[in-house]
Structure formats: C-alpha cells, structure tokens
Amino acid sequence: MNAPLLEVRDLGVVFATPRGAVHAVDGLDFTVGAGEVLGIVGESGSGKSVTLRAIPRLLHANATVSGQVLWRGEDMLALPAERLRRLRGGQVAMVFQEPMSALNPVLPIGQQIDEVLVAHTSLDGRARRARAVELLGLVGIASAAARLAQYPHEFSGGMRQRAMIAIALAAEPALLLADEPTTALDVTIQDQILQLLLRLVDELGMALVLVTHDLGVVAETCDRVAVMYAGRLCETGTVGAVFGGPRHAYTDALLRSMPGTGTARERLVPIPGQPPRIDRPVAGCAFAPRCTHARPVCGTERPRLTDWAEGHASACFAADELGAPLVGAVA
C-alpha cells in the first residue's frame, strides 16, 4: 500500500441536540492511500456521512469533532481557516448525495464551476471558461458550452450529478469524498455515474472515498472497504478479504441479508432488531443485542480492532468463529 494521503485517527463526532448528546462517530480509524478507492458502508444512521463531512470540517456548530484527520501528515482539524479553505475544493473535493439540493438553484452551472476555478487557480476568465467546458466534457455532458449558462433545474438528475462531479474535479483534487453519490439516481444512471467515477480515478490518479449503503456498489468499485455500525468501525480490509471471509458478526450478517448473485434460491437472512440509540456510548459491542454470535463479554467490553491478515482487521469477539467464505453472497 502507498503511504497514506489521508489518515483518520480516533475520530469522534458528538452532536449537541435538545434531547442530549448524540455520539454519531466513536473512535474511528482508517487510511486512504493515493489513487486508492475506499468504500465506507453501513446502514442509515451508522455515521458514515457524518464521518465524511467531518474530514473537511463541514459539520455545523452543534457538532464536536475529536481525534485527528491527517492530510499528508498535517491535522486538518487543527488547520487555520484560510489553509483549510484552500484545501477544501482544492486538494480535497467532495460530492454530495442530492445534486438537486447541493447545487445552488439560482446560479448558472457555469458560474458554479467558475467559482471553484477562481478560488483555487490563477486562470483568467477565458481560460476558466475553456476549463469549465473541458470539465463538463470530461464527465460526459454533451454540448457543454451551451450548458454553462443553464441552471440546475434545467438539468436531469443524472446530468446534475455529473455537473456536481465536474465542479468537484475543477481544481484537480488528490482525494474525492463522495457521499452516496448514486443514491438519489435511478439504477441505470447509478451505474453510469459509478463507471464515470472509476474512470476518473484511473485517468486522474486521484483517491476516492465512497460512502454508500449498497454492498453491491462497494464490490464493484472499491479496493478496500470499511464497515461501520452505530458510529464505530467494525471491520476493514480489501474488498476480497472482507466480502470473501468476513471477520465481524455484523459484516457477516449484512452479507447474508443481501440477495446473492448465485442461481441458488437461498432464503435471505434478515438482521433482527433495530440499530441502537446512540444518545449515550454503548459499553460493549454496539451490535451485540442483534448478534447471533453474541457472548457475555460482548455486552460489557468493547472489542478492539484486531488484525487477521495484512490490512484486514475487525473488532469482534466472535471473529474466530467467522472468516469462512460465504456461499452465494456478493462476488
């Protein structure tokens, strides 16, 4: 693995709400190497989107972020505002889930690309326009020059997501943070957008962190995967290792609950129960109440992240029972 571009250490996010503190992310560690594609998966509310937004410090004032987010060795959480601003949209760009609400409805697409170029490059007006046309072309938007003057509501959903990706790519970032970039799109468009992101990763050599709840998407696109549950990291490793032989009871249950690609008419195994409330830190393993492998220790002691192989680690007391290849699960 390359030397990490981004190293997240013991990341914690606590939201102050009228009903008390919510521990959305708790003790999270992961790294992203140059040119690498990392998938962060988890159910709704598992803290994956919050994690992503905590990296460039986009969370609002009600969030308290702890730990370290090291960008090329420098802690982004401690960076002065102006340095952080130049990093955002410059080296570290982001794509949001809902292109309709993430694009400003009253500004033409061209201006929304142009302002990134103004903020991060010294190009003149003519060069910026040429670059904007080039970017729209890069993400597969036809007759790009004419599209610059149009507003988001004149674009289709897929086109809007392409335009948002073009905006994110404007300053040639080394890392793209993508928060469920395909969730709001229909299936055929989803696939096009994923193919586009993968092509851009290849062509531009940038790293990608892809947050998704879709295990199929991870299997198709990612080099490595980090599985989150209730704000904590359950398991991380290469897609092959984690999906081939999960070492965490939650990953295992998650994979068994997925419709497989095999021909066998296997019954799906749902995960019983609900994710825990995260208004106070859970003492043991957060998944224990729903876990079929749970042991007494799971309710009292928090499992530590343990390496099972090079780059494959999980935090599960039942890990030794697991690790067998799943049949009929995602390829």
Select from 13-21, 103-111, 251-259, 307-315 the region that touches other proteins (CB under 8 A). 103-111
Of 107 and 130, which has the nearer Cβ to other proteins?
Answer: 107
3-state SS assignment for residue 13 = strand
> Which one of 116, 200, 239, 278 is in contact with other proteins (CB under 8 A)?
116
Cβ neighbourhood burial of 267 (10 Å; 0-12, 13-18, 19+):
exposed
Determine the interface stretch with other proteins among 13-21, 30-38, 89-97, 155-163 (rule: CB under 8 A). 89-97
> Residue 151 or residue 271: which is nearer to other proteins going by CB?
151
Please identify which residue in the block is written with the tokens 């890990």.
319
By CB under 8 A, tell whether 96 contacts other proteins.
Answer: yes
Burial class (CB in 10 A: 0-12, 13-18, 19+), 88: buried
State the nearest-atom distance from the C-beta of 58 to other proteins, in Å: 5
98 interacts with other proteins by CB under 8 A: yes
Q: Is 63 near other proteins (CB under 8 A)?
A: no
Task: Report 171-210 residues binding other proteins (CB under 8 A).
Answer: 171
**177 contacts: CB under 8 Å, gap ≥ 6:** 52, 55, 56, 92, 93, 94, 95, 209, 211
Q: Which residues contact 57 (CB under 8 A, 6 or more apart)?
A: 65, 76, 77, 84
CB-neighbour burial class of residue 54 (10 A; exposed 0-12, middle 13-18, buried 19+): buried
80 binds other proteins (CB under 8 A): no
Closer residue to other proteins (CB): 200 or 285:
200
Q: How far apart are CA 221 and CA 228, in angstroms?
A: 18
Question: Residue written as tokens 């949209």?
Answer: 89
CA distance 187 to 263: 22
Contact 323, 308 (CB under 8 A): yes
Closest CB 151 distance from other proteins, rounded Å: 5
Q: Any bridge partners for residue 41, and if so which?
A: 212, 227
Q: Is 72 in the site for other proteins (CB under 8 A)?
A: no
Q: Among the candidate windows 29-37, 85-93, 248-256, 262-270, which touches other proteins by CB under 8 A?
A: 85-93
* Residues 131-170, mask of contacts with other proteins (x by CB under 8 A): --------------------x-xx---------x--xx--
Residue with smaller CB distance to other proteins, 104 or 300 = 104
The residues binding other proteins (CB under 8 A) are 53, 56, 58, 60, 85-90, 93-94, 96, 98, 101-108, 115-116, 119-120, 151, 153-154, 164, 167-168, 171
